[in-house]
Amino acid sequence: MSKREIPGLVPRLVPLGTTVFAHYSAIAVETGAINLGQGFPDTDGPSWIADAVTRAMAEGRGNQYPAGAGVVELRKAVAAHQKRWYGIENDFATEVLITAGATEALTAALIGLVDTDDEVIVFEPFYDSYRAAVVMARGKLVAITMEAPDYTLDIDELRKAITPRTKVIVVNTPHNPSGAVTSRAELQAVADLAIEHNLVVISDEVYEHMAFEGEHVSISTLAGMRERTLTISSAGKLFSYTGWKIGWITGPKQLVDAARTVKQFLTYVVGGPFQYALAEALDNGDQWLAELRTSLMHSRDHFTSGLKSLGFEVHQPKGTYFATVDVRSKGFATADEFCQTIPKKIGVVAIPSHVFYEHPERGAAYARFAFCKKDAVLDAALERLAQL
C-alpha cells in the first residue's frame, strides 16, 4: 500500500481491473504489433454517415442536450429497423432507448433489473462487461459453458441452473468471441424456459447483420417473448464507427423503463449530432449493411484459411468478426502464454479467451483474433504468424 492510500478503503469494484481490450491494445501500441485483439474495423464506415454528423453540428441539431431517451428521429429509425428486419413493433416513444453504446445498454438493463443476490445466467465465453454489470448490481453470475468448437447452448445445463433467484438470462447471437450463430431451435428452448420460469431475457445482438451462415434470429420474435425481452444493438458494430458509442435497447415499456431509470443517471444523454446521423444511417443503410457482411465473409474466409494452412486449429466462426484458434495446435500450452509471447516475438496481438470465461480453465487453450481488417493487414499478420 502506498502512503497515499487510506487504510481499509478498498473500493468494492476495483478488483474488476482494466478491460482486457484496453490491456492488449496498449501492448499493440507499445510493441508496434498488428492489433488483432480488440474488435474494431480498420476501415471507417461510409463517409455519407460521417458527413451527416458534421451537417447536424453545423445546423445546430444535437449540440445541446438531446431528449433523455434519445432524439426522436433515431428512436423512430430504430423502431423502423426492428419492424423492417424482424417484424417487431416498438413504440418509439416508450419502447426504444438510445444509450452510450451497447455497453451502457447492457449495464443499465442489468442494474435496472437485478437486485442483490438475484441470479443472472450467461453462457460462457461471454463479453466481459456482462460480469462487471452483474457485480455492480450486486447480483450473482451463473455461467453455463458453450463447448468448443460448436459453441451451442447446453439447454439441460440451463434448466438445471434456474433457481427461484434467477431473474435474467443473457443471450448473445451472433456470438462474441466464438462467432457462433445460435439456431432458432436453441433460442426456442431458452424461450420456453424463460416463459416457464417467468424470466427476463437480455438479447445482445450487436452483430445482428454479421451472420454468414444460418439466419440471425432475434429471440423477441418467438411467441411469448416480446413482453419479456430487452434487445440490444450498437451503431458501432452496424456502421463501423465504434468510437461514436451509440447503442440502443428495444422492448416492452416496463423493461425499457428499468434501463432508462439507470441510464439517465449514468450518462443522461449521449452524442446528439451522432444520433441524427445514425437515424439517417439506419433509414438508408441496408445496402451498406449487406456490403459489410459480404466483405467480412471474405475476410473470414481469407484469414481462417490462412490460419489453417499454417497449422492452426480454427473454430470456424459463422458470424461476427472474430475467429478463435486452439493454440495447442501450434505447440503452446495456454493462450495466455501465446498472447503474451507473440506481440514481442512476431508482432501480432490476439486476446486469450480465458478472459471471457467464468471458469477460465475451460477457455485456457483458445485465443481470439479480430479479422475486421484490410486484406493487406491480415496477410501481414499471417506472414508473421508463419514464423512461429
Task: List residues binding ligand GLN (CB under 6 A).
Answer: 19, 21, 38-39, 176
- Least Cβ distance, residue 362 to ligand PMP (angstroms): 19
Number of neighbours of residue 5 by Cβ within 10 angstroms:
9
Binding ligand PMP (rule: CB under 6 A), the pick from 172, 203, 229, 250 is: 172
CB atoms under 10 Å from CB of 213, counted, come to 12
Give strand ranges (E) for 196-312: 200-204, 229-234, 247-250
Contacting ligand PMP within 117-136 (CB under 6 A)? 127
d(CA 69, CA 388): 50
Identity of the residue, 101 or 343, whose beta carbon is nearer to ligand PMP in the bound complex? 101
Binding of residue 352 to ligand PMP (CB under 6 A): no
Q: How many helices (H) and strands (E) does the chain have?
A: 13, 13
Task: Output the smallest distance, CB 219 to ligand PMP, in A.
Answer: 15
The one of ligand PMP, ligand GLN, none whose footprint includes residue 90, by CB under 5 to 8 A per kind, is none
Partner whose footprint covers residue 82, from ligand PMP, ligand GLN, none (CB < 5 to 8 Å by kind): none
CA–CA separation, 117 and 112 (whole Å): 14
Scan for cell 495466455, then name that residue: 336
Is 38 near ligand PMP (CB under 6 A)?
no
Q: Which residue is nearest to ligand PMP (CB)?
A: 101
Distance CA 352, CA 54 (A): 38
Which of 37, 46, 62, 101 is close enough to bind ligand PMP by CB under 6 A?
Answer: 101
In order of 33, 293, 304, 348, 376, the CA distances from 380 in angstroms are 11, 23, 14, 9, 6
Stretch that binds ligand PMP, among 101-109, 162-170, 222-230, 270-278 (CB under 6 A): 101-109
Q: Is residue 2 left, alpha or beta, with left meaning phi > 0 and alpha meaning psi from -120 to 50?
A: beta
Q: Give which of ligand GLN, ligand PMP, none residue 236 binds (C-beta under 5 to 8 Å, depending on kind).
A: ligand PMP
Collapsing DSSP to helix, strand or coil, 72 comes out as helix
Return the exposure string of 16-49: e unless at least 16 CB atoms fall within 10 Å of the residue's CB, then b: eeeebbeebbebbeebebbbbbbbbbeeebbeeb
Under rule CB under 6 A, residue 182 binds ligand PMP: no
Asked if residues 339 and 23 have their Cβ atoms less than 8 Å apart, the reply is: no
141 binds, among ligand PMP, ligand GLN, none (CB under 5 to 8 A by kind): none
For residue 38, the partner it binds in ligand PMP, ligand GLN, none, with Cβ less than 5 to 8 A by kind, is ligand GLN
Q: How far is the CB of 281 from ligand PMP (least distance, A)?
A: 14
Residue closer to ligand PMP by CB (options 101, 112) is 101
Cα 302 to Cα 104, 135, 238: the distances in Å are 33, 39, 21
Compute the chain's Rg from CA coordinates. Answer: 21
**Of 358, 370, 335, residue with least CA distance to 132:** 358
Nearer to ligand PMP, 107 or 334 (CB): 107
CA distance linking residue 368 with residue 117, whole number of Å: 32
Q: Supply 237's cell numbers.
A: 458494430
Instruction: For the CB of residue 282, give the shortest distance to ligand PMP in the complex, in Å.
Output: 14
Nearer to ligand PMP, 220 or 234 (CB): 234
Give the CA distances from residue 383 to residues 24, 103, 110, 388, in Å, rounded to whole numbers and listed in that order: 20, 34, 43, 10
Nearer to ligand PMP, 244 or 332 (CB): 244
Residue 206 vs 307, nearer CB to ligand PMP: 206
Residue with the CB atom nearest ligand GLN in the bound state: 39
Of the candidates 90, 103, 166, 250, which one interacts with ligand PMP according to CB under 6 A? 103
CB of 272 to ligand GLN, least distance (A): 22
Are 246 and 232 a contacting pair, CB within 8 Å? no
Which partner in ligand PMP, ligand GLN, none is near 101 (CB below 5 to 8 A by kind)?
A: ligand PMP
199-238 footprint of ligand PMP as x/- string (CB under 6 A): -----x-x---------------------------x-xx-
Q: Does 326 bind ligand PMP (CB under 6 A)?
A: no
**What is the contact surface with ligand PMP in residues (CB under 6 A)?**
101-103, 127, 172, 176, 204, 206, 234, 236-237, 242, 247
